[in-house]
Structure 1
Amino acid sequence: MTASPSPARSATPARVVKVPLGERSYDIRIGRGVLAEAGSAMAALKPAACAIVSDETVARLHASALAASLEGAGLRTSLVTVPAGEPSKSYARFAEVCDSILAARIERGDLVVAFGGGVVGDLAGFAAAVVRRGVRFVQVPTTLLAQVDSSVGGKTGINSPHGKNLVGAFHQPSLVLADTALLDTLPAREFRAGYAEVVKYGLINDAGFFDWCEANGTRVFAPGDERDQAVAVSCAAKAAIVSRDERETGERALLNLGHTFAHALERACRYDGSRLVHGEAVAIGLALAFRFSQRLGLCPGQDAVRVARHLQAVGLPSRLQDVPGGAVTADSLIDAMGQDKKVERGALTFILARGIGKSFVAKGIEAGAVHDFLTEELKPS
């Protein structure tokens, strides 16, 4: 990240998306300058104190502004930081964060504030879920990926040596503040990675939104209405699915389109962000899901081509050969898939597609068919 002007200088009216979950419903406030509203928005939840959990990079750039807003609203504030990157989603960092929250004397009526990308949101949210058997928390996502995906819906957790996100809990936030001006400081690679999750919503069940992405995708990379629109549409799409299937017993699994391949890739790369970050793995996973669907006779070839072309057009990878460093094999990917959360009695579950906007849950996929597909994909083009 690089420093940028204060988000408040170019503030725009917030767009509000509601996540309707009865008594646990909450708002997602989206727009430039939303961070300046953090104090008043969190004070309305009536905590006495807030523990901000952030990574060292985000804390250096933006923690003072968030703390000033909270303290200006009369809230006692403390800061807990972890190193930036996927390795912080570990048992050791989780224990440190829990102990730091307790040391800050955060009570059940107070707030844990997840201030960062998906790693911080997952880690801080899981800590909030278990400290004192459950403390309220607020998501203040600072990456595109977190704003459009991981900050919404209540999935929290850490990684295990056995796989990604295998230890965690469902714990809904009380509020999400998505300040799109914070994305101005995001490195280009991280922004592109987050864009893969935006595209995903069009591919799941909204072909019109995928058309919009093809027409406006490059504009999302610059500050402006298209960026805010992409975040708002994505959040609304996820909120609608979460409200119908909060704990992923059915439809919510569609949000994992591309992720079975992606998580296996990340594990095969040992979560090395220099080689592959999560959104890049998702981009490859989306393209693989459509090509695998084509191979099974489910999806028109032209749709699989469109998906790959759009990802490539914005600078995202779309093939296994795009992973730097090589050493990814069909065997290593199949082994990693065996620990996927959607495995049932040892059988693989994938989200496949009958076309753009026509995704579905496919259970009982034979590992041999996946292995053959991956072997073909790994052949030099």
Structure 2
Amino acid sequence: MFNEIGLKGIQFDYPDHKYTTNELFEILGNKLTEKVRDNIRKLGVEQRYFVRPIEHYLDNSEGTHPLSDSHKEPISDLSAKVAKKCLEDLDLKPESISCLVAASENNDYLSPGLSSILVRKIGLSNFIPHFNLQGMACSSFPKVLELGRNLVQKETDNVLIVISGCNSGWYLPHLKDNMDIKNPSEISEKQYDREKQIEKWVSTMFSFLFGDGVVAFVLSKTKTGENMIKLGSFTHAVNFDMFDYRKACVHLRGHTANHLYRYELTAGANVIERAVDYSKKVLMQSLDKNPDSFDEKLAQEYMAGKEKVMIHTGSMKILDKFKEVYRLKNEQIQASYDTLKEFGNLTGCSIPTVMNKTFMEKNTGNGKGLLVGITMGFGLDIVEVERVDN
């Protein structure tokens, strides 16, 4: 007998180009002030992986996509590799897949989307239904779970989900500029290019915070007695203030003088406080309470009932703040810190990586977990999950 929809066959992979924080310090030399280095150390990231070597961005006089590189597709190639590993692990043939859902921020192309490219690279039917989600950022995992669950209708449905967290092509090009990188407190208010220098500092922090990776898994109905990760309630919200999305965003901006384009990165100074405020409202909404009236005691009791609270690895300061507000125990949240340290902020791949580290295997806990996605948008998602061990 088939009943619940479960998550199966989760697989991960990361690019070949691995850099420790100290290695990047050496590569950039004296461009970073000691205050900036201290900012970077406090991010909580010791190493990360990039789909292209950093020299590709620092040494390339033709820009980030020279003609000799025009047909290299590292993001979709890695995504297809992970998807195939997932199918092999589940002993599923491509024709067993009923639908493909791909989620990404960056891609080898602005258009077509990642799903269109993956259909053939994975070996799926030309006629298969496929959907491409872009811009869900660090809440990509909750979003594809919710969409995928609604796409599983029959016992024979197998929805293949692929999430790419390979976004280094957005921010690494900023490191090429021949400009010293300073903390905003080191830049005079009267400095003629103060705004540009602050943008440089933001992009540098992004370069050290984020890392690349891909995850793939299948959603399908499970048989009675089968081990699975069961999906519970989904609660999400965006933009309590009309323009909150401008507080954390990526903007493709053109420069008319030289006809060049670059990604402009924005991260507001109060992102941590904003994320916590959003979490309070979303949690109260999920508990059928007034979202504008936070019940601290109720929230902490609810969190205490979760074996694991798997929070997106935004930064060490974000994790510290959530741990403090909700009085989370080390064993509830440690995997988020470990993922941040080993891989950096993997955007859409962060939460599944955390979940794989701490929640997939049977242990002595109660099997109840909570996924927390904090995302550009500005938004926050929480998903209740349960590990069923038979």
- Comparing both chains, which one has the higher relative contact order based on Cα–Cα distances under 8 Å and sequence gaps of 6 or more? 2
> Would you say same fold, with TM above 0.5?
no
Q: TM-score range by the shorter chain?
A: under 0.3
- Superposition TM-score, scaled by structure 2 size: 0.26
